[in-house]
């Protein structure tokens, strides 16, 4: 919503929405702010808390910034029991500790459905902000986590996901994007965004900004294979279906099967970073990611001049 007031210290705000807001405090310091929370996506309370924290912190990492403090956001039914809430907060606290983030407070309300997340504040040098629309033609695209979390989460709720895949998905969603952020900052990425609720297609379209096209190589995109099987069986969350309706007019993927196509629109929770990097820096980026243990990272395509379309081959 436009307010009619312009603050020159607001470097990233509502005029050009990104993964987080950025406000300059000094010539060499800007704060980065974001907030995210959601209902349980896994049965284990500790895991839900850790995933919720990793998901919220990811917006700061996507800006090339370092998260510093966090506030807990809690909606909780009185009849659910506070022992479970304690486990949620413990999981989030452990993720924050790993990230070097200090939890400084929070707020809770009575709610008929449990919700949890964080408001996160970080810092970045004003000249080193990584925005989602900073890419240029010729850039290579790198994705740092597999797709399929939304479908797997729906499969968990329906009792259709195998225990092995469930545990792998929890590990992936619980993993911070800190190492991926450090690698992209180290080599100088042109643009980045984290893949969350809008899915790969939705977030990539934001990166294209109506001025670039993307050529994706589906075989190179990391996915959880069981998610393809579940999608073929009709397990496809409502958010992912909305993503498909919103983005299908800008996607050309005639040779891709329906189940595989579903992965491209799948609404992710705590997904990976999508990084746009100059071709001459791709090798260094992949090497840096490997050294930091970002084992699922893959080059998935490239950008060229266009009008905001995605071609999948």
Residues 2-21: what's their mean pLDDT? Answer: 86
Choice between 236 and 109, residue whose per-residue pLDDT is larger: 109
Evaluate if residue 4 carries a pLDDT over 60: no
pLDDT score recorded for residue 3: 52
pLDDT band at 239 (very low <50, low <70, confident <90, very high): confident
**Is domain 131-312 in CATH 2.40.30.10, yes or no?**
no
Q: What's the CATH code, domain 10-127?
A: 3.30.1330.10
Per residue in 195-232, pLDDT tens? 999 999 999 999 999 999 999 999 999 999 999 999 99
Average pLDDT across the chain, whole number: 95
Domain map of the chain by residue range? 10-127, 131-312
Evaluate if residue 104 carries a pLDDT over 70: yes
Q: Three-state SS string across 144-198, please?
A: CCCECHHHHHHHHHCCCCCHHHHHHHHHHHHCCCHHHHHHHHHHCCCEEEECCCC
296 to 8, 45, 234, 273, 293: CA distances (angstroms): 39, 26, 26, 11, 9
With CA atoms as reference, report the closest residue to 283 among 299, 294, 302: 299
22 to 37, 128, 279: CA distances (angstroms): 20, 11, 28
Per residue in 264-299, pLDDT tens? 999 999 999 999 999 999 999 999 999 999 999 999
Q: Helices (H), strands (E): how many in the chain?
A: 10, 13
CA-to-CA distance for 18 and 13, rounded, in angstroms? 7
Evaluate if residue 2 carries a pLDDT over 80: no
pLDDT score recorded for residue 58: 98
Evaluate if residue 1 carries a pLDDT over 50: no
pLDDT score recorded for residue 190: 98
């Amino acid at each position: 919503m436009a307010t009619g007031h312009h603050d020159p210290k607001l470097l990233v705000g509502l005029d050009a929405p990104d993964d987080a807001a950025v406000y300059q405090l000094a010539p060499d310091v800007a704060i980065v702010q974001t907030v995210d929370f959601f209902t349980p996506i896994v049965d284990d309370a500790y895991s839900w808390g850790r995933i919720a924290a990793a998901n919220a912190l990811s917006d700061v990492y996507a800006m090339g910034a370092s998260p510093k403090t966090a506030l807990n956001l809690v909606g909780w039914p009185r009849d659910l029991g506070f022992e479970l809430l304690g486990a949620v907060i413990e999981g989030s606290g452990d993720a924050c500790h790993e990230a070097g983030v200090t939890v400084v407070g929070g707020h809770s309300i009575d709610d008929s459905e449990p919700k949890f997340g964080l408001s996160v504040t970080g810092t970045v040098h004003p000249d080193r902000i990584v925005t989602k629309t900073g890419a240029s033609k010729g850039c290579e695209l790198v994705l740092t986590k597999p797709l399929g979390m939304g479908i797997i989460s729906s499969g968990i709720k329906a009792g259709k996901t195998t225990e092995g895949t469930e545990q792998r998905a929890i590990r992936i969603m619980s993993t911070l994007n800190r190492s991926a952020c450090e690698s992209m900052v180290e080599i100088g990425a042109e643009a980045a965004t984290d893949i969350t609720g809008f899915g790969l297609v939705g977030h990539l379209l934001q990166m294209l900004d109506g001025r670039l096209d993307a050529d994706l190589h589906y075989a190179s995109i990391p996915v959880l294979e069981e998610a393809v099987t579940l999608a073929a069986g009709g397990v496809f969350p409502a958010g992912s279906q909305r993503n498909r309706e919103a983005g299908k007019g800008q996607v050309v993927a005639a040779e891709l099967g329906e189940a595989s196509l579903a992965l491209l629109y799948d609404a992710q929770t705590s997904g990976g970073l999508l990084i746009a990097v100059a071709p001459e820096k791709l090798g260094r980026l992949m090497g840096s990611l490997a050294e930091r243990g970002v084992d699922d990272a893959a080059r998935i395509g490239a950008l060229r001049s266009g009008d905001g379309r995605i071609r999948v081959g």
